[in-house]
Amino acid sequence: MVSAGRLICALTWAFFLEGSRSRWDTDAMTDTNTTHAAPASPLPSLAVTGASGNVGGTAARLLAQRGLPLRLLANTPSRAPELPGATAVKCSYEDTLTTRVALTGVDILFMVSAPESEDRLAKHLAFVDAAAASGVRHVVYLSFMNAAPDSTFTLARTHFHTEEHIKASGMTYTFLRDNFYADFFVELPDEEGRILGPAGDGRVSVVAREDAGRVAAGVLARPHEYENQTLDVTGPEALTLDEIAAILTRVQGHPVTYVRETIEEAYESRKKWPAAQWEYDSWVSTYTSIARGEMDVVSTTVRDVAGRHPLSFEEVARAALASGR
C-alpha cells in the first residue's frame, strides 16, 4: 500500500497519461538497438514520444516486435528503451527548434501528453505547430475520456483544446481518449485502507495501461484505418468505488473501504500536501467527474483495435500483487 500523498499525485493524470496516460518522460525524451549515434541512413518515419513510460513504452515495444523501424523522441536519448530497429532522437516540448529538427521526415507521430503544469497547453500547441511545420502527416494523440471545454475533470479540458489545435493544423489525426488507468486505482487506498473522495455512486471504466499501449500500437501500425477518428479506450466494465474497494479487499487480503467525502471535505483533506490551486482542482475533479457520470463509458476499442479482451480491474490488481507492487 502506498502513501496517500503519492496516490493523489498519481491521480492527477500523469495520466494518467502516462500517465503516465501516460507520460512523456521529461528525463527520457532524447540518445539512441536503440541507436545512440548519428545514423547514416534516413531516420524512421514513425515517431513515438513517451517510449520510456508505460503506455508509450508498450506501444514502442509492440511496434518493434512487428519489425517496424521507430524514431524514439526523448529528452535524454540514452534513457530510451533498447529496441531493434529503433533510433532515439533528442526532442522536447520546451525547444521548438530542436523539436522541428527531430520531427523532420516523420510521417506518423504518437504524441503523449506533456507532464502536468500550468503551461501544459502552451507546450502542446507549440509541439503540434512544430509537427505541422516539419511535415508530419498524421498524429495519434493520447487524449482523455470526455475531453471537452467544460469537462468536470479539469485536466481533460487541456486535451480538448489540444485536439482542436491538431484538427486545425491540417494534419490527419486519431485521438485515443483513455479513461483513468486501472493501475493507479490499485494503489488508491491510503495507509488505513481507505479510498477518500467525492465520487458518490458514480462509475468509472478504468483501463489497464497495457491495453492502452496495445491500442496505440494497433492504431500506429494501421493509421489509415483510424484516420480522423476519436476512440474511447476503456476497461470491460464500469465500477463504483465501492466495487473497486471490494475487489481490492478480495485480492489484497485486507479490508479496503470507500469513504465518501463532500467536495469541501475533499479539498480540505488534501490541504496537507502543499500544491497550486490547479493541482487541488485536478485532484478533486478526478472524483467529481466520476460522480457526474462522465467516466461511465464502456467501449469495445481494446477488442476492436488490439484484438483481445481488455483486462479487468481484478486482473490488473492481481498482476500488481504478483509483481510486488
> What is the pLDDT tens value at each position of the chain, 325 positions in all?
334 443 444 343 344 433 444 333 333 343 334 444 344 457 889 999 999 999 999 999 999 999 999 999 998 999 999 999 999 999 988 778 999 999 999 999 999 999 889 999 999 999 999 999 999 999 999 999 999 999 999 999 999 999 999 999 999 999 999 999 999 999 999 999 999 999 999 999 999 999 999 999 999 999 999 999 999 999 999 999 999 999 999 999 999 999 999 999 999 999 999 999 999 999 999 999 999 999 999 999 999 999 999 999 999 999 999 987 6
pLDDT given at position 24: 39
Dist CA 290 CA 304 (whole Å):
25
- Closest Cα to residue 242, out of 307, 297, 301, 313? 313
99 belongs to a structural domain: yes
Domain of 30, CATH number, reads 3.40.50.720
158 belongs to a structural domain: yes
213 belongs to a structural domain: yes
262 belongs to a structural domain: no
Please list the residues that pair with 140 across neighbouring strands: 110, 174
Cell reading at 286: 478526478
CA distances, 86 to each of 65, 138, 210, 231 (Å) = 11, 19, 20, 27
**SS3 string of the chain?**
CCCHHHHHHHCCCCCCCEECCECCCCCCECCCCEECCCCCCCCCCEEEECCCCCHHHHHHHHHHHCCCCEEEEECCHHHCCCCCCEEEEECCCCCHHHHHHHHCCCCEEEECCCCCCCCHHHHHHHHHHHHHHCCCCEEEEEEECCCCCCCCCHHHHHHHHHHHHHHHCCCEEEEEEECCEHHHHHCCCCCCCEEEECCCCCCECCECHHHHHHHHHHHHHCHHHHCCEEEEECCCCCECHHHHHHHHHHHHCCCCEEEECCHHHHHHHCCCCCCCHHHHHHHHHHHHHHHCCCCCCCCCHHHHHHCCCCCCHHHHHHHHHHCCC
263 belongs to a structural domain: no
CB 26 within 8 A of CB 214: no
How many structural domains is the chain composed of? Answer: 1
CB 209 within 8 A of CB 174: no
CA distances, 299 to each of 118, 210, 305 (Å) = 31, 16, 11
303 belongs to a structural domain: yes
Cell reading at 148: 471537452
pLDDT given at position 41: 56
Give the structural domain span for 119: 4-188+207-234+292-309
Q: What is the pTM of this model?
A: 0.89
Give 121's contacts (C-beta < 8 A, 6+ positions apart): 158, 161, 162
196 belongs to a structural domain: no
pLDDT given at position 325: 66
222 belongs to a structural domain: yes
Burial of 98 (0-12, 13-18, 19+ CB in 10 A): middle
